[in-house]
Structure 1
């Protein structure tokens, strides 16, 4: 399995017990959706390795407590600390037409109601307090907050997002 065929699910953040259980910080608003997983891919030494899940439960509502097969000691669990977890893209839940996953909109054209064509989305920066569209136009980077109030329309068929940004925001970058 290649990373390009997968989506980022989360990261193993700590050990939970001396029997190899780990706590996983899931990158989702709905962690309960992932309670019934049979397996995940662990990014271990730059390879995606399948790990089968014996049991899992929610821990303090936003962490997944998991016991992997053949991970039976603290030392085994230590070896997996800070590893990223992935699942195949085919397992992503279907979204409604006006919703999108971040990876889906890379390459989409951004049109602003007032400004016109802004550029092309090259990535999403979700490391800040508010996620940002990273848009490229003529070698310039434009950052626009992913604010529901700014998003007027999503046209998946034509790979275009229509925004209505505050006056002057786009001009700051050009």
Structure 2
């Protein structure tokens, strides 16, 4: 399993007991979806190592207390502290309507209400204050903010996102 096949779930932030229990700070709006995990992948020295979950319990709002198989002592737990935790992409909950995960719309066609087809979504940069679609159109790059006001429809069957962008936004990329 590689990180490309997984999504970031959270980070192991502390030990809970002297018997190897750990607490994972979940990075999700819906922590209750992950309270009964069978297994997790821990990023250990740049490799994803699978661990089976013996038991888990949601603590507070986003802390998941877990007991992992073969982690039975404090030293074992210490070795896993501050490590990132991942799950396979197949474990992501399905989203309805115009909601989507960034990774799933890569390669979708982008269609603007004014300009028609404006290219293919190459990637989404979510490392900026405003997440951005990067669209490839005839060797030009069009950048559109990821904003619900600009997205008319997400057609997951046809792999198309329909946009209604502000006047002039697309034009500024198409001018020579």
TM-score range relative to shorter protein? 0.7 to 0.9
Alignment of 1:1-174 (within 5 A): 1-4=1-4, 6-19=5-18, 20-174=20-174
Larger Rg: 2
Deviation at 1:172, TM superposition (A): 4.2
Q: 1:59 to 1:124 in 2, by over 3 A?
A: farther
Shift in CA distance, 73/115, structure 1 to aligned 2, threshold 3 Å = farther
**CA separation of 1:123 and 1:22: change in aligned 2, threshold 3 A:** farther
Structure 1 residue runs of 5 or longer lacking an equivalent are: none
* Segments ≥4 residues shifted beyond 6 Å: none
Closer, same or farther in 2 for the Cα pair 1:144/1:79, shift >3 Å? farther
Distance 1:29 1:22, change over 3 A: same
Distance (Å, rounded) in 1 between the aligned partners of 2:159 and 2:122: 13
C-alpha spacing 1:132/1:76, structure 2 compared with 1 (3 Å): farther
1:45-75 CA-to-partner distances (Å, cap 9, x unmatched) read: 3332211123323344123232322223444
Q: Scaled by the length of structure 1, what TM-score is found?
A: 0.81
CA change 1:158–1:34 in 2 (3 A) is same
| Structure 2 residue matching 1:90: 3-state secondary structure | helix
Instruction: Write the distance in 2 (CA, Å) between the matches of 1:163 and 1:115.
Output: 10
Q: Is the 8 A contact 1:15 1:74 kept in 2?
A: no
The alpha carbon displacement at 1:160 in A equals: 0.8
Aligned pair in 2 of structure 1 residues 171, 80: CA closer, same or farther (>3 Å)? farther
Given that 2:10 and 2:86 are in contact with CA atoms closer than 8 Å, whether structure 1 keeps it comes out as: no
Q: SS state of the match for residue 104, structure 1?
A: helix
Aligned residue pairs total 173
